[in-house]
Every structure is written in structure tokens, then in C-alpha cells.
Chains A and B, each alone.
Chain A
Amino acid sequence: MTVSLPEVTSVLGSRSVWVVPKASAADADELTIADLTAGFKATCYIYGNGGTITGEQQRGDAPRKLCEVTTRQKIGTVNESISDIQYSYKPQADDADEANDMKAAMTFGDTVYLVDRLGVTDSTAPTISHFFNVYEVELGYQNRTQTGDDDQAEYSITQGASVISTAYDLQFAAS
């Protein structure tokens, strides 16, 4: 019997992240490729795999009916959260410096869209045929951190955020 494995997509170098201001669109599905281009491409600032969404599914036991001898589980609410984002910055420069663009784009208290594209080489320009995941988030405090304690460590900012809404597998119009 022939074993036929489904096609898979390598993670390495195939994730791109853009930061787009809330002023660009009232809703995630109204974003366009032009909005992405006018936004800020953050891929080369972000370390590791930050900014991934988790939907924690709550479950509960349904009230037992008189005829029931077993417990029924019911699906409850979903608590969406986003993992901390760690990105590089230049401590000895102000926000006008290109090295601090990500720091300036992610100002504490601002609401932005984080647009995630998976499975396409980062150097590929976004097009109307690509699928995007969009996370509308309110940005938290920018903690000054470092990537580690070894001789390769770099200064970084680690920032949490709260999720306002998520939308998956969106395709954007050109403009």
C-alpha cells in the first residue's frame, strides 16, 4: 500500500508580521494590501515566535436532568490571549532612529492590528491571493529586556498585549 503524506509547509523564514494602525480600517476585514504597505513590516525586529494567539476553551458540566446518570459537558466561553512579543531596539537612540521604528509603532496604550502571514517567504510582497490572520490588540507596557545572558545577547523590548478581536484566513483587496 502506498503511503501518501499530505503536503506540509516549513516554518523557517515563512512568517511575516505587519503592524497596521487602527485608523486604517474600522474592522479587520476592511484592511487592504495598500494598508499593509502603508503599515510597518515588523518581521526583522521580532525574536522567536512571539505574538501567537491562544484561545483557551472553557468547559463546564451541564445541569444534570432527573433521567441522567452521567454528566454532560458543555462548551463555555473562549478566552483569547496573545503571547508576549519580543523585539529589538537601540537603547542609545530616540524614536526617529530606524532601529527604534518597532518601538515607536508599538506605543503603550495604542490599538493596532497585527497582521500575520504564514507559509510565504518573508521577502515576498503581500498580494490579494495571500491569506492573512489579523489580531486587533491593545498594546501593553514596553519592558526593557535582553534576549539572554550569554555573549550573543541583544537588548530588546518585551511587550504584552490584550486581544480585542481575531480574524483568520482573510484575503485583502488591493486598495
Chain B
Amino acid sequence: MKFRLLLETLLVCCLAGQLQAQDSTRFRYGVQFRYQPVDFFAGVGASLNQKNIQHEVQLNTGVNSTFFQRRFYPQISYRFSWFPVNRRWIQTGPVGITNLSMRRFNKASAHGYSYEEQLLAGVSVGCGQKSRVRFTIAGGLAMEQNWSFMVQKQVTYFSWTFLGELSYSYAF
């Protein structure tokens, strides 16, 4: 209950300026499993739906790193979706996703942290109204900040990345 309240508060705070009519909004909660080149991520999410627009916040964790290597790999994700096709049984349209993640990969070093930021664009297809399954694919830019042992400072590496995500959500 506290967790749900926290997520709702977070969403409302983030989107306060965009809330127009309470009766046109709808909260959804769900779980998702996504593949990214660096790891598989699994987590929970909450979304705010306003007509054809959806704002969603997700909290994920890298499965391989967290569960098979005992190294917590959290990721916070915000996604914006627009559904030009928004029928009762199918919703599809473009999505914009931004991910922030962090991992301590070298415990022997005080600088053994890696920070990743990603900005992706893609499409999603959802099925269902109250109970919804959705598949998303997206690609975009990835930035990774590591401490460089060679130059003794934080260095940013740019590259391309993508994700494929399967999610399930339920509207209350």
C-alpha cells in the first residue's frame, strides 16, 4: 500500500502541470521484463494515462548482475507513449524511453562504479483494456560513465543501444 502511494505521488509530482481532469486519468500498475545488451531487466512500473497519452515510471533491476552475481544493478526508467491507435483491444504507437542505471562492478576500487544513461525511441503494441500485455521495441543513444584508470577522471563513452520489453499491467 505504501509502495503504491509512493509511486502515485511520484507520478503526480512529476506530471502535476499536465493533469487536466481527474476523470480522464487512470493509473495502471504492472511488471515488465526487458532485454537490453548489457543485461536482462525485470521490475515494476506505474503509469498515468490521459486519453491517448501515457506516462510511466519503472523501477528495474539487472537480472544477471543482481541474481547471478549478487551485484545490485538498479535502473529507473521513464517512458512516454502516444497511442494514435487506442481501441479497446489494441493500442499502438510511438514511445520515448529514458533509462538511468548504476552498478558497482569493481569492489576493489573506490571508483569501480558505472553509470549509464539511455535515450531511446521506438514503438509499442498493447493488447487489452483493464488487463494489458504490451510489447515494445526501441533503439537509441547510450552514454556510459566510468572512471578511467588511464586518465584518472570520469570518462563518457557514447554508443548505440536497443531494448525489447514485454510488460503486463492492470488498471485500477
Q: Do A and B come from one complex?
A: no
Which residues of A come within 8 Å of B, CB atoms? none
